[in-house]
Amino acid sequence: MPSSPQLLDRMRHSNDTKGVGSQHNTLKKGFYIRHGKRVFDFVFSAIGLLILSPLFVVVAMCIKFTSRGSVFFRQPRVGRGGQRFLIVKFRSMLQMASKMPPGITVSNDKRITRVGKILRRYKIDELPQLCNVLLGDMSFVGPRPELPEYVETYSVDQKLVFCVRPGITDPASLVYRNEEEILSESQDPEEIYRTEILPDKLARNLTYIQNISFWNDLHIIFATLGQLFLSVKENPLRVGK
C-alpha cells in the first residue's frame, strides 16, 4: 500500500479543487434545492428506516450483548446554518471512547469493539443517521458534518458548506473511503487531518454545493453503494473470526 503522503497527493489531484473560494459566493436556488431534495430525504429515509428496522434490532442486540454501554452513540456536530445537532450512530467503540484521545479514529484503533470493527467496515454504524435525515438535521447527500472544534478553524469561504444540510455521504467520502487507513500510517493523524485532509474535503464539498442536482445526488448515492458492495466483496464477513 502506498505511503500516507503518496495517497494524499493522489487524492488531491483526482479532481481539480483550485480556486474554490472565489466560486462559491452564491448558491443555486432551483426547485430541487428548495423543495425536492428535502422531499426526497424525508420519503426515502422513512422507507429506509422501515425496511432496515429488523437489521437495527439485530445490530442493537449484538452491541448490547458484547460490550458495556448504550446501543447508540450521539455526538454534537455542526450542521446547516452553523447550528449544532446530535448525530446518531450505532456505538462501535468503548463507552468512554469519545473522552479518550485521539479525537479522530484510525485503522485498528484500540477503542473499537469487536462488533464495532464489523459495523465500521461495512458502514452499518452510519445507518441510524437515517433518523437525522428524517428529522431534517441531515440529508442523504451533503458535506459530512464535523466536530465543533474543527469548525472553529474554518475560513470564511469554507463556512459556506453550512448553506446546505450535511449529508450521510458526499464527494469527499468517495475519495477518502480509506481515510482511517491513511491516518493510521501518520505519526500525527490529528495534524494530517486538520491541515491536509479536511481542507481538501471542504474544497470538494464546496464544488459539490455549486453543482447540486437530483442527478448528481443520485450519482453520489449509487457510487457510495458501489463502494460499499466492493468493500463487502473484498472483505467478506467471516463469522467466528
Residues 37-95 pLDDT 10s: 999 999 999 999 999 999 999 999 999 999 899 999 999 999 999 999 999 999 998 87
What are the phi and psi torsion angles at 75 (to 5°)? -150, 140
**What pLDDT sits at residue 228?**
87
- Is 120 within 8 Å of 95 (Cβ atoms)? no
CA angle 115, 150, 206 (to 5 degrees): 100
pLDDT of residue 196: 93
Q: What residues contact residue 155 under an 8 Å CB cut-off, 6+ apart?
A: 21
Assess whether pLDDT exceeds 50 at residue 20: no
Give 7's pLDDT tier (boundaries 50, 70, 90). very low
Tell me the chain's radius of gyration from C-alpha atoms.
Answer: 18
- The fraction of the chain above a pLDDT of 90, given in percent, is 64
Higher pLDDT, 64 or 101: 64
Burial letters for 136-157: b for 16+ Cβ neighbours within 10 Å, e otherwise? ebbbbbbbbbbeeebbeebeeb
pTM: 0.83
φ/ψ of residue 90, rounded to 5: -70, 135
Nearest CA to 25 out of 157, 125, 143 is that of: 157
pLDDT at 8 over 90: no
Determine the Cα angle at 223 with ends 190 and 133, to 5°.
Answer: 70
User: How many whole angstroms separate alpha carbon 77 and alpha carbon 74?
Assistant: 9
| Residue 85 CB neighbours (<10 A) | 20
Q: Is 191:27 a contact under the CB 8 Å cutoff?
A: no
pLDDT at residue 28 in the model? 65
Model confidence pLDDT, tens digit, residues 175-186: 998 888 888 888
103-157 residue pLDDT tens: 667 666 788 899 999 999 889 999 999 999 999 999 999 999 999 999 999 999 9
Position of cell 455521504?
Answer: 169
Rounded to whole angstroms, the Cα distance separating 230 from 225 reads: 9
C-alpha dihedral (154, 136, 213, 12), degrees to nearest 10: 30
Write the DSSP symbol of residue 69. Answer: S
Measured in degrees and rounded to the nearest 5, phi and psi for residue 86 equal -100, 115
